[in-house]
Amino acid sequence: MFNLLSTYLFDVIAEADPEKGYGLFGGKISVASFATLIIVALSIILCAVVFFMNRKVFKKTIKFTAVAFFAYLLSIGIFLLILDVIKHYDMQYLDKNYVHKDIISFVFLPSLLSLTIALISAITLFILYTRKNPKVKKVALISGIIWGISLIVTIVLIAVYYSSRISGDGYYTDDASKFNQAALDSGVAILLILTVGTALLLDKDNSPFDAKTIARAGICIALSFALSFIKLFQLPQGGSITLASMLPIMVFAYSYGMKKGLLVGFIYGLLQSIQDPFIIHPAQFLLDYPVAFTMLGFSGAFASFKPLEKLPQVKFALGALISSVLRFASHVISGVFAFGAYAEAAGASNHLLYSLAYNSFVFIELAIVVVVGAILFSSKTFKTVIAR
């Protein structure tokens, strides 16, 4: 009964499906998305009213609303993740034809444990750092060791799961889907070499992940994850337009450089694969999740570009554009060589054109991020925080 109730709650709150009756306004928007948009609107109205009525408390009002909104996002993100895991657990055992057999034990739960450890460590370190506690370095070291072990175990379990699936009947065959494993593997290798090589060449910052950096990384990952549940539009074969879910990761990359941004993007990509899995092959999994979101680290490419020093909005927008183009390329490669069957089912004989059109949702998300980012980087307070 509890499992069925949890599954029902997730569908009612997070899904928008007109055929099943989920969502508001005829299934056009989920309850979670609508509620979040209302909260954002009310927050903006509140700040505007305070600005014109009492400017002395305006800054305090902004801080209060920002903290309250972040707390809301973290709460709803954790709540929906728990419901999502329970939902997939039910599908695994109730549906005999469910593709991702044992995905809960080998992928979902280990990844959830690693991410939970990272989030708790980040919050703990953030509190200790703000209070200037002398134990912050020791706690950071211990937290890093524990999280590192959990991450290694998680990667091993994920590798075991997918290596056992690759020889089974869970993946599409070459005849059924125009599947091209060699092209997929080459795409993964080329993008990773390009990404790592460019970051090492352009980003000269070799500073380690200190307590403050780890704390902010964990908070940015958690915020992006929570925002990714606020879907403005959901695509049928994976992918969605969200409420600026890429923004926190991009801001982190802009603040701390590409190398750190790439690592945080990679971790966020793993989290995305837990939230909304559409996986048919290990190479496709890498392209659509870890590799694609690793590209968000390129948002910091122009952070130190001196000719645009007085235009942080432009520097951020250019970095966001590059990272989105590379993320788009990763999705397109996956679409062409792993999801050809969907193109033909839609009546499209040209897999490349179909994949280009299908994955163009990335640029709608980019537009949302650039607009919100321009507003943030126009704030003196925000720029001061970023400079620190």
Q: Are residues 190 and 315 in the same domain?
A: yes
- Report DSSP state, residue 233: E
- Report DSSP state, residue 378: T
Q: Are residues 82 and 176 in the same domain?
A: no
Residue at a domain's end among 51, 81, 98: 98
CA atoms within 13 A on the CB side of 206: 3
Average of per-residue pLDDT across 113-126? 74
Among 379, 252, 384, 269, CA closest to 319:
252
Residue at a domain's end among 59, 77, 98: 98
Does any domain span residue 139? no
Query: In the structure, what pLDDT confidence band is assigned to residue 93 with cuts at 50, 70 and 90?
Result: very low
Does any domain span residue 17? yes
Residue at a domain's end among 66, 98, 130: 98
CA 335 remoteness from chain centre: 19
Looking at residue 330, what is its pLDDT?
A: 93
Q: Are residues 90 and 195 in the same domain?
A: no
Q: Are residues 249 and 382 in the same domain?
A: yes
Residue span of the structural domain in which 222 resides: 172-387
Reported as a single tens digit per residue, the pLDDT across 210-247 is 767 777 787 788 888 888 888 888 777 677 888 889 99
Does any domain span residue 150? no
Q: How far separated are the first and last CA of the chain, in Å rounded?
A: 50
Q: What are the distances in angstroms from CA 318 to CA 242, 322, 387?
A: 20, 6, 19
Looking at residue 172, what is its pLDDT?
A: 45
Amino acid identity, residue 115? L
Looking at residue 320, what is its pLDDT?
A: 94
Q: Are residues 89 and 216 in the same domain?
A: no
Looking at residue 267, what is its pLDDT?
A: 84
- Report DSSP state, residue 105: I
Angle at 187 between CA 185 and CA 189, to 5 degrees: 70
Looking at residue 291, what is its pLDDT?
A: 92
Query: In the structure, what pLDDT confidence band is assigned to residue 142 with cuts at 50, 70 and 90?
Result: confident
| Residue 280 or 300, more confident | 300
Q: Are residues 67 and 210 in the same domain?
A: no
Looking at residue 154, what is its pLDDT?
A: 78
Query: In the structure, what pLDDT confidence band is assigned to residue 114 with cuts at 50, 70 and 90?
Result: confident
Looking at residue 230, what is its pLDDT?
A: 85
Looking at residue 261, what is its pLDDT?
A: 92
Reported as a single tens digit per residue, the pLDDT across 23-75 is 787 777 888 888 888 988 898 898 888 888 887 888 788 878 877 887 788 77
Query: In the structure, what pLDDT confidence band is assigned to residue 4 with cuts at 50, 70 and 90?
Result: low
Residues 6 or more apart from 148 whose CB is under 8 A from it? none
Question: How are beta strands 240-242 and 231-234 bridged, if at all?
Answer: antiparallel
Query: In the structure, what pLDDT confidence band is assigned to residue 270 with cuts at 50, 70 and 90?
Result: confident
Does any domain span residue 42? yes
CA distance 161 to 187: 22
Q: Say whether pLDDT at 96 is over 60.
A: no
Q: Are residues 57 and 199 in the same domain?
A: no
Domain with residue 325: its CATH number is 1.10.1760.20
Does any domain span residue 231? yes
Q: Say whether pLDDT at 146 is over 90.
A: no
Domain total in the chain: 2
Q: Say whether pLDDT at 188 is over 50.
A: yes
Amino acid identity, residue 117? I
Mean pLDDT over the full length of the chain: 79
Looking at residue 89, what is its pLDDT?
A: 60
| Residue 173 or 9, more confident | 9
| Residue 164 or 1, more confident | 164
Residues 6 or more apart from 110 whose CB is under 8 A from it? 150, 153, 154, 157, 158
Among 104, 80, 81, CA closest to 92:
104
Looking at residue 155, what is its pLDDT?
A: 74
Q: Where are the alpha helices (DSSP H) in the chain?
A: 2-14, 31-53, 58-94, 103, 109-130, 136-165, 174-177, 181-202, 211-228, 247-256, 258-275, 282-288, 290-294, 312-338, 340-345, 351-358, 361-377, 380-387
Whole-prediction pTM: 0.78
φ, ψ at 29 (rounded to 5°): -150, 140
CA distance 62 to 54: 13
Residues 6 or more apart from 27 whose CB is under 8 A from it? 16, 17, 18, 19, 20, 21
Q: Say whether pLDDT at 95 is over 60.
A: no
Looking at residue 380, what is its pLDDT?
A: 75
